[in-house]
Every structure is written in structure tokens, then in C-alpha cells.
Amino acid sequence: MDSNAFGLDTGQLRAIEDFLQSNTLGRDHAKRVDDLSASISYRDTGKTATILNDALQSFGVLYPLILIRETEDSVISVYEKAGIDDAVRDATLSDVRLWVDQYASQHDGAIGLDQVFWVCRHLCANILRLGRLQFEPKVFGYPYQIFLNLKDDMKIMFANRGLFCDEDGYLTSDQNAVFRTTLLEDTNHITGHLVDTKLGIIEKEETQKIKTELLRILGPETSVLHLHIPSGSPLTPSSVDDSLTLAKAYFPSISIVACSSWLLDPALDLVASQESNTRDFMHRFKKFPVSYTVPQIYERVFGFGLGETEVLTYNATTSLQKKVQQALKNGVKFHTTGGYLINL
């Protein structure tokens, strides 16, 4: 295959050829290629991910990359049928190369791809890179509802019922919960726990609003654009503006953009410089708490697989690393945070 829509370099392509020449994959390989081509053609991310993950588990990290390479024509065809121009296609598919490079950086230069559940979305054109950012149309999915207050034109967010929260209003397990959210709608009122969308926390006390004064504009099943932030060039305000403008053109019927990231954590105000791109990006969003295991800032600023203990003892070299370490020592807690903005 002469084309290279995924932007793989010479060494990566050579590793693919060497693997194919040194391994006898037989009919099973041909069937996997056919099955993967079919699932991509139907834009079935679930089946695509399953095939790639089975290949990963059976033959190691290089094999999914080989299957992707051999189904390149099907991938390109999907983008053509969807009316997506070549520049957007190539920018989107370059994420495969980013994750191959990421794997190499963590495994002494070894070539492979283990993020199969992520890149399947790119192969099926269910996520698009538009400028600096990536956008994925799907339902909101988070347990919150947004209402427009018709009296003052302000938006408020209620938490759905049944969320376990700690003392500070972040999501937690039922064993550690200080309170559990309620949400009650009757003929005249909506009563529940509001979200402080500046701090990204759920308020402990219930609030009651007059139902006729509220217009529901978002719930868990509302279609939104999920925004993803690939590694690469600086996240400048102008590049974010340009991406949001492109998103409006590609998805004119969807005005709400949602994101979950360490870059939305209000605690960044304590560690990022006043003029930093990260602060500017964070302040664009109304925020809400999301579930997570380890704060994403640990893996993105220090490295994958690190917990708080490892972060505190890490040999910090960058200004941000040093500031995060000092903040942790001072008792600051970092949180992966959700957020939304209206892209009109």
C-alpha cells in the first residue's frame, strides 16, 4: 500500500513490514482484515474496537497497527462517503501516529499501539479533528440537567438524583458520601441540588425553583459535541476559537460542547501563570464534577500510571510540575473536571 493516511514514519512502516514477513498469520489474519474493513465501513466503533483489542491480546501491540494499515482503503472510503474533506480526514487520522509515538516514548522506543478503544472512533469517522481540537457528536451522558431561567436569561444546572457527594460537593463512593443528591419535579416546582458551575461542585443544600420560569435545554440524552484535546501545539485562545468556529460549520445543529479534562480544574488558577493558555481554556467552561480514579493532571503533567505519592517524589523539572507538587504539599486537591459551553 503506497498511501499513508495515518502519517506513520519510515521506521514504523518498516516494523509493520518486518512483522508481516516474519509471522505466518494465515487465514485468520485475512478474516480479521475483512471483518475490520466491514465494521469500519458500517462505522461500528464497538465492533471495530473489539476486533482490534482481540488482535492486541492475541499478538501484541504491533498487530492492531498492522490491521489498521491494511484497512486504510476502507477508512478513506468512510470519510469520502461522509463528505469529509481530505485535510480534516488526515488531521483526524494523525491521532493514530500520536498514540504510536506516545507508546514509544513510554516503552524505550518500541513500536506499537495499545489505545485501540480510542482510535476506533477515528477510523470510523465518528470523531473529527477540526483545527487544534477534536469533536465527537454523541449524547451528553453526564447526570446533570441544564435549564434556562426565563426571568433573567441565566443558565442553571441541577444534579440528577442519586449522586453520592463528599463534604466539598465532589462525586465519591457511597461509603465516603456526606450527602446524596435529590431531584423532584412536581406541577409547580423543581427542587434539587444545584451545581456551582464556577467551582465545579454540587451544592449540599437543596434549592427550589419555579417550574414555569425554567426551560430545559440539556439532559443526559441530549446530543452535544464532546471536545477532546490531542497533544501537540500550544492551546492558544485563537486556535481554540478557530476550532469552535469549524465545529459550528461541521455540526450546525449542535450548539452545546462538553468536555472532561484536567484542563478544566479550577485549581489550575493556583498553579498556572496568569497569562497561560490553560487558564484561558479552563475559564471558557461552566463546570461540573465527574467521576475519576486518579486526577488526570498527574498523568498529563508527570506521566502515566503515577499516583499522588509518586507525583510528590517525582524529580520535577518544569515550572508547572514544581507548582503542582508544592500545591499538593499545601493541601490543594486536584480534580478531573467536566464542563460545557454554548457554541453559538
Q: Is 83 left (phi over 0), alpha (psi -120 to 50) or beta?
A: left
Q: Which three cell numbers stand for residue 289?
A: 464534577
Predicted local distance difference test score (pLDDT) of residue 249: 93
The predicted model gives 132-151 an average pLDDT of: 97
H runs (alpha helix) in the chain: 10-22, 26-41, 45-59, 62-70, 72-81, 86-106, 116-123, 237-250, 277-282, 296-301, 308-312, 319-329
Indicate the angle between helix axes 45-59 and 116-123, nearest 10 degrees: 140
Quick: pLDDT tens for 201-246.
999 999 999 999 999 999 999 999 999 999 888 999 999 999 999 9
Quick: pLDDT tens for 297-328.
999 999 888 999 999 999 999 999 999 999 99
Contacts of 290 (CB under 8 A, 6+ apart): 142, 171, 260, 336, 337, 338
Q: How are beta strands 256-261 and 223-228 bridged, if at all?
A: parallel
Q: How far, in Å, CA of 265 to CA of 115, rounded?
A: 25
160 DSSP 8-state letter: P
Q: Which three cell numbers stand for residue 8?
A: 506513520
* Beta carbons of 185 and 105 less than 8 angstroms apart: no
Predicted local distance difference test score (pLDDT) of residue 1: 46
Contacts of 185 (CB under 8 A, 6+ apart): 191, 211
Predicted local distance difference test score (pLDDT) of residue 3: 56
Share of the chain above pLDDT 70, in %: 99
The predicted model gives 54-81 an average pLDDT of: 95
Q: Which three cell numbers stand for residue 92?
A: 483526524
The predicted model gives 109-119 an average pLDDT of: 95
Predicted local distance difference test score (pLDDT) of residue 23: 73
Q: How are beta strands 201-202 and 195-196 bridged, if at all?
A: antiparallel
* Beta carbons of 206 and 165 less than 8 angstroms apart: no
Q: How confident is the model at residue 274 (pLDDT cuts 50, 70, 90)?
A: confident
* Beta carbons of 336 and 229 less than 8 angstroms apart: no
Instruction: Establish how many alpha carbons lie within 13 A of residue 2's alpha carbon, considering only the half-sphere containing its beta carbon.
Output: 0
CA angle, 330 as apex, 327 and 333 as ends, to 5°? Answer: 60
Average confidence score pLDDT of the chain: 94
Quick: pLDDT tens for 169-202.
999 999 999 999 999 999 999 999 999 999 999 9
| Position 164, amino acid | F
Q: How confident is the model at residue 154 (pLDDT cuts 50, 70, 90)?
A: very high
- Residue 25 confidence (pLDDT) above 80: no
Q: Which three cell numbers stand for residue 124?
A: 470510523
Q: How far, in Å, CA of 151 to CA of 215, rounded?
A: 10
Q: What is the pTM of this model?
A: 0.92
Quick: pLDDT tens for 200-211.
999 999 999 999
Q: How far, in Å, CA of 274 to CA of 284, rounded?
A: 15
Q: How far, in Å, CA of 123 to CA of 120, rounded?
A: 5
